[in-house]
Structure 1
Amino acid sequence: MKFKALAVALCLGFSAGAANAEPVNLTLSGGNPGGLWSLLGAGMDKAVKATDSDSVITYQATGGGFANIGLLAANRTDLGMVHDAEVKLALTGQDPFKAPVTNMMAIGYMYNWAPMHFFLNKDVAEEYGIDSLDDLAGSGAPISIGINRSGNITGNVALFMLAEAGLDEATLTGNGGNFVRAGANEQGDLMQDGRIDMATNGIFIGHSSFRAIDENVDVVLLQIPQNVIDATNEEFGTSAYTIPADSYSNQAEPVETMALGAMVVTTESMEDDTAYTLAKSFVEHIDEIRGVHKAMQQLNPELMVSQTVLPFHPGAERAYEEAGLLK
């Protein structure tokens, strides 16, 4: 009986200890104020508060994923929102990183449905017989192509995909065209003003910048060869994606492409119990994160563990194993 009482006491003690885990108080480095990542930060804060009302995740606006990886590498932030493609570059020390970043560990994937789009002016497409990315180089068309600003991973991805399809900068300028660095909304304005012929970006289907282009300019969405998609996924750790038919005005057929994903990352210095609490809170209170934006409705626990570019933090891994999401 004494042994039984001791066992019960120990179990109760362990249960009480688990229930009374310390609240988390962490900083999440994200992106622009008011952007999706800031909304995700608010959702994560609600999720941890649902577990413990004293917990706090404070959102810190930054220049985006590249900047956040730099902060993580220097142990100057607790958590960072990053794209999978940015992590892949960081792990191998590719530009803009001067050396490999090796201290990162994953907490959870937030989305993987930000597909690369290539919108081309319909008149240009018809004049030069272009309906696929690999038609551009040989067409001889003097196209001005919008590429996201330096420091935004979608610019790196777009340039890589175009080069894989045969259109590097030398070929483009030889055809009389050029690259124009501009953000998503700027590209929409430039398309409407006729200052660029093509817009490129990797964000959600129907994003406001894409709607502005589709509604105000007669454009076609270019197909992407499978070899370009495969090479891009290999290079950046991204995944294949299909933009459904009729997502845009002149798009009668599905368009195969690839999509960027974003995840919450920490460092190996985070305590196991903290990472455990984070991951457990995100799974158990996932509706708090899903509810921040209609684009997040696809998020589910299985998606959270589907990233492949980083090892999970041991604490997060334990939470996912307990939830039956990892073996």
Structure 2
Amino acid sequence: MKKFLSSILVLTLLFALAACGGGNGENAQNDGTTETEEYLPSQIIIATGGTSGTYYPLGGGIAQIITDNTEVSATAQTTGGSVENVRLLNSQEVDMAFVQNDIADYAVNGTMMFDGAKTENLLGLASLYNETIQIVLPGNSTITSVADLKGKRVSVGAPGSGVEANAKQILELYGLTFDDLKAERLSFGDSVQQMQDGNLDAAFVTAGAPTSAVTELSATNGVKLLNIEDEKADELIKKYPFYVKETIPADTYPGVPETKTVAVKAMLAVSKTLPEDFVYNVTKALFENVDQLIAINKKAESISLETAVDGLTMDIHPGALKYYQENGVK
């Protein structure tokens, strides 16, 4: 009987310990709060964008680099882009994501389209390349300054999009709001069509230059780009540090001179649940195999250690940070 009771007691203790050790990837703290537990799955998912964009093919390349250089298999997943990717990352449906750095900033601070819904599960891994703010006009336009957009028919991007936020912030520099414009909220393709038909005076486009929609306009009606002057760019960056200065080289679009503007950064964000050693290995593999990405898309030529943390206003994952510190990145 004593042996039987002892066995019952041991089993009871084992069940109690199992109950304490199980859960949803969170550890209870002494203060009653929880801390996300690091977890390394056998396969990770990288949220990218549409199949016709830049995020998806580069995401496939990065997935292959991770698969070849770590103990984890990685897969690129098509998505609706930055805003959706943040939500997928926050809900732990994906492990890594391509995100514009301004969208990531809004997410971690709970502002703009994430107002009141601060994202907790997002850390920076690396800046990749510039997403250029292009203020596009038909080739026959007489508009010469952002200030001249007052009262004009201007596409400012889809509601709740990163383009809309960029347009709002840049117009602020010139004392304008959307109420000062005849604002339209159109996609890049629809903006081009409306300009071709003479129904739109200008459009904000946030994308790597050259952008196919803008190239299409240049081939039909010709195209002009507006400059953002250096002092205005400095003012913008001081207020919104996720921006960087950018120069669009002459003849990026036929006949268009060198244009000064600003850009946000395409970046890789990562779940804070991924272990430090794994993220260190991913970061190392990424920067040691950039040539594989350049073969996929020339935008990868901009990926370098020198600019790896440019425009990142959120915390960087400890694994990536360790790699940067070892390589003198500040």
TM-score, normalised on structure 1?
A: 0.80
Q: Which residue is equivalent to 2:329? A: 326
Code of the aligned partner of 1:200: F
CA contact (8 A) 2:57 2:297 kept: yes
Q: Which residue is equivalent to 1:95? A: 112
CA contact (8 A) 2:241 2:311 kept: no
Q: Which residue is equivalent to 2:242? A: 237
Deviation at 1:227, TM superposition (A): 4.5
Q: For residue 228 of structure 2, give the secondary structure of its aligned residue in structure 1.
A: coil
CA pair 325-25 structure 1, distance change in 2 beyond 3 A: farther
Q: Which residue is equivalent to 2:199? A: 195
Code of the aligned partner of 1:74: S
Mapped partners of 1:33, 1:164: distance in 2: 35
Deviation at 1:38, TM superposition (A): 0.6
1:10-56, Cα deviation, whole Å (9 max, x unpaired): xxxxxxxxxxxx9962111122133211111111022123325x642
Q: Which residue is equivalent to 1:25? A: 43
Mapped partners of 1:251, 1:34: distance in 2: 25
Deviation at 1:250, TM superposition (A): 4.5
Q: For residue 261 of structure 1, give the secondary structure of its aligned residue in structure 2.
A: strand
Deviation at 1:102, TM superposition (A): 3.6
Q: Does 1:150 find its partner at 2:155?
A: no
Mapped partners of 1:321, 1:270: distance in 2: 19
Q: For residue 27 of structure 1, give the secondary structure of its aligned residue in structure 2.
A: strand
Code of the aligned partner of 1:115: T
Mapped partners of 2:249, 2:51: distance in 1: 30
Aligned length: 289
1:157-185, Cα deviation, whole Å (9 max, x unpaired): 0122123313322222xxxxx11211112
Percent identity for Structure 1 against Structure 2: 25
Mapped partners of 1:326, 1:295: distance in 2: 21
Q: Which residue is equivalent to 1:63? A: 80
Code of the aligned partner of 1:121: P
- Greater Cα offset, 58-67 or 303-312: 303-312
Q: Which residue is equivalent to 2:190? A: 186
- Greater Cα offset, 243-252 or 277-286: 243-252
1:73-127, Cα deviation, whole Å (9 max, x unpaired): 233321111111111212221121123324321121211x2221112234441xx
CA pair 23-102 structure 1, distance change in 2 beyond 3 A: closer
Unpaired runs of at least 5, structure 1 = 1-21, 173-177
Code of the aligned partner of 1:243: I
Q: Which residue is equivalent to 2:63? A: 45
Let me know the Cα RMSD of the aligned residues.
2.3
1:251 to 239, 248, 256: 256
Q: Which residue is equivalent to 1:308? A: 312
Mapped partners of 1:305, 1:232: distance in 2: 19
Mapped partners of 1:305, 1:159: distance in 2: 25
1:244-274, Cα deviation, whole Å (9 max, x unpaired): 233334433x322101111111122211122
Code of the aligned partner of 1:223: N
Q: Does 1:171 find its partner at 2:174?
A: no
- Greater Cα offset, 99-108 or 81-90: 99-108
Write out the 4+ residue segments of structure 1 that deviate beyond 4 Å after TM superposition.
none
Q: Does 1:117 find its partner at 2:130?
A: no
Q: Which residue is equivalent to 2:229? A: 225
Q: Which residue is equivalent to 1:160? A: 169
Code of the aligned partner of 1:232: L
Code of the aligned partner of 1:155: E
